[in-house]
Amino acid sequence: MPPEGARPSLPLLTGSPMNKLRENNALKGWMMLSPLALVLLAFLVTPIIMITVVSFWRATEFSIIPAFVWENYDFLFGSPVTYTVFFNTFKYALITWAATFVIGFTVAYYLAFHIRTQTWQIALFLLCTIPFWTSNIIRMISWIPFLGRNGIANSALISWGVIDEPVEWLLFSDFAVILAFVHLYTLFMVVPIFNTMMRIDRSLIEAARDAGANGIQILWNVILPLTKPGIMIGTIFVVTLVMGDFITVRFMSGSQSANVGRLISNDIALLQYPSASATAIVLLLTVLIVIGILLRFVDIRKEL
């Protein structure tokens, strides 16, 4: 974002006209932003406030009652299930992050530094992003013929003689969950990393080569550090998407594994809104803390 008041004519205005101009700017800015502000107020801020309020309410089997009690939080932190489920959530996030980072970085590196014409770069990049614009649910369903008991993976492994009978842990397992996450979210790593890589000044790489660095040294000492902002943005996307997920875990684990999102959606299904709200607030705080830590390493506004 450029700083305000960069135009040369401004220094001529001093004192109160300058202030007026600034007020005018703020007014115009807020007028332009009012639709955005209204949407976010109505469908982001108010719902969060609502969840916070309801997390202190009481629930019976049939209804929820306004109150101010800590019992939902007491129950949440008193139950050993909570800790297992949070641990699971972090486990999914960490493994998925590692896999998407390695794959995403490699793909982005290939597109940015090994493809020589811009037309091909754009074409191949689009080929990577098209699945992002199709349905996630369909993309999850499409793993069934691969991973099922009589699926392609099992038949192939049997015909190659690797295994004697079908393995059961391919579909409906943690393995399937993480595979689906990687399948769905690697694009979120490829796009920002590719974006930062394309902005690296190529003369830096030539300079490194002239100074005697080999390919790996260039990758490690020049490209990787310069790509950090893109990696951070990709990390924010992947980590938050995985931590907030409830549908991939449910579908791909065949309801055998749980993460925090599923804990919330189970409570919702049982109409236990106060309890769901308390869990949701804890999840939101956890995600925001993680993002807060990640944002210390990158200025998003500068990197777009």
Where in 176-195 is the site for another protein (CB under 8 A)?
A: 183, 186
Closer Cβ to another protein, 1 or 12, answer by number: 1
Instruction: Of 189, 177, 303, give the one whose Cα is nearest residue 236.
Output: 189
- What's the min distance (Å) between Cβ of 83 and another protein? 19
Stretch of 2-10, 91-99, 157-165, 201-209 contacting another protein, by CB under 8 A:
2-10
The CA distance from 144 to 159, in Å, is 19
The partner residues of 64 in beta bridges, in order of sequence, read: 59
User: Which residues lie below 8 Å from residue 265, measured CB to CB, with a gap of 6+?
Assistant: 246, 250, 276
Q: Is 293 in the site for another protein (CB under 8 A)?
A: no
Of 12-20, 76-84, 90-98, 237-245, the segment contacting another protein by CB under 8 A is: 237-245
- Candidates 90, 136, 174, 226: give the one binding another protein (CB under 8 A): 136
**Contacts to another protein from residues 210-229, by CB under 8 A:** 215
Q: What angle in degrees, to the nearest 10, is found between the helix axes of 71-78 and 273-295?
A: 70
Cβ closest to another protein, residue 75 vs residue 132: 132
> Any alpha helices (H) in 165-272, and if so which ranges?
174-198, 202-210, 215-218, 224-244, 247-252, 260-269
**What residue has token string 């089997």?**
61
Angle at 186 between CA 262 and CA 184, to 5 degrees: 45
Task: Report the residue from 167, 222, 247, 266 that binds another protein according to the rule CB under 8 A.
Answer: 247
Q: How far apart are CA 200 and CA 110, in angstroms?
A: 14
Binding of another protein at residue 137 (CB under 8 A)?
A: yes
Name which position in 10, 13, 44, 163 contacts another protein (CB under 8 A).
44
- The yes or no reply on residue 16 touching another protein (CB under 8 A) is no
Tell me 2's DSSP state: P
Among 26, 94, 207, 289, binds another protein (CB under 8 A): 26
Residues 56-85 that bind another protein (CB under 8 A): none
Is residue 124 near another protein by the rule CB under 8 A?
yes
Minimal distance in Å, beta carbon 146 to another protein?
6
